[in-house]
A and B are shown apart, each in its own frame.
Chain A
Amino acid sequence: MPPPRILLADADAFFVAVARMVDPAGAGKAPLLIVGGTRESRGVVCSASYEARQYGVRSAMPIARALKLCPKATCVPVPMKACGKVSREIRSVLMRYAPVVEASSIDEWYMDLGGTEAIYHNESLRATAHRIRSAVKEATGFSVSIGGGTNRLIAKLAVERGKPKPATTADGVHVVEPGDEGSFVSTFALADLPMVGPKFQERLAALGLRTVPDVLARDVVTLRRQLGTNAADWLWERVHGIAGAEVEGRGAPKSMSRDETFPVDLVTDEDLERELLRLVTRVASDLRQGGYAARTITVKLRDNDFRTRSARLTLADPVVTDRVIMSVATELLHKLRRSRRMPARLIGVALSSLADDPGADQLGLFAAEDPLQETERDLTIARAVDRVRERFGSRGIVPGALIE
Chain B
Amino acid sequence: MRFTIAREKLQEALTNVAPAVPAKTTLPVLANILVEANERGVRFSGTDLDVAVSIEVPADVEVPGALTLPAKRLGEITRELPPAPVKIAALGEQRATLECGRTKFKLLGLPRDEYPAFAPVEFNTGWRVKSSVLHELISRTAFAVSTEESRPILNGVLWEVRDKLLRMVATNGHRLALMESPVEVGPGATGDFIVPPRALDQVRRVFPPEEEIEIGKGENHLAFRSPIASVSTRLIEGPYPNYDQVIPRDNDRFAIVDRPSLVSALRRMSVVASDQTHRVKLSFNTALLKFTVQTPDVGEGQDEIPVQYTGDALDIGFNSSYLLEILRYMPSDEVRFTFKTAERAATLLPENWAGPGKYVCLVMPLRLVD
Contact = CB atoms under 8 A, between A and B. Distances in A.
Interface of A: 313-317, 328, 355-366, 369-370, 372-373
Contacts of B173: 316-317, 364-366, 370, 373
Interface string B342-370: 01010000000000000000101111111
Contacts of A363: 174, 343, 364-367
Most buried by B among A313, A314, A357, A365: A365
Contacts of A360: 274, 277, 279, 317, 366-369
Given A362-B319, A365-B176, A372 B151 contact: yes
B150 interface: yes
Q: Is the interface of A mostly helix, strand, loop or mixed?
A: loop
B78 interface: no
A388 B246 CA distance: 37
Contact of A362 (B148, B149, B174, B362): B174
Contacts, number: 83
B276 interface: yes
B279 A314 contact: no
A363 B172 CA distance: 12
Contacts of A316: 146, 148, 150-151, 172-174
Contacts of A355: 276-277
B171 interface: yes
Contacts of B116: none
Contacts of B370: 359
17 contacts: A313-B149, A314-B148, A314-B149, A315-B150, A316-B173, A359-B296, A360-B274, A360-B366, A361-B366, A361-B368, A363-B343, A363-B366, A364-B364, A366-B173, A366-B241, A366-B246, A370-B173
A361 B367 contact: yes
A94 B359 CA distance: 62
B25 interface: no
B26 interface: no
B362 A365 contact: yes
A369 B242 contact: yes
Contacts of A365: 171, 173-176, 241, 243, 246, 345, 362, 364
Contacts of A315: 148, 150
B369 A313 contact: no
A190 B242 CA distance: 62
A357 B319 CA distance: 12
Contacts of B275: 356
A356 B274 contact: yes
A315 B241 CA distance: 17
A316 B171 CA distance: 12
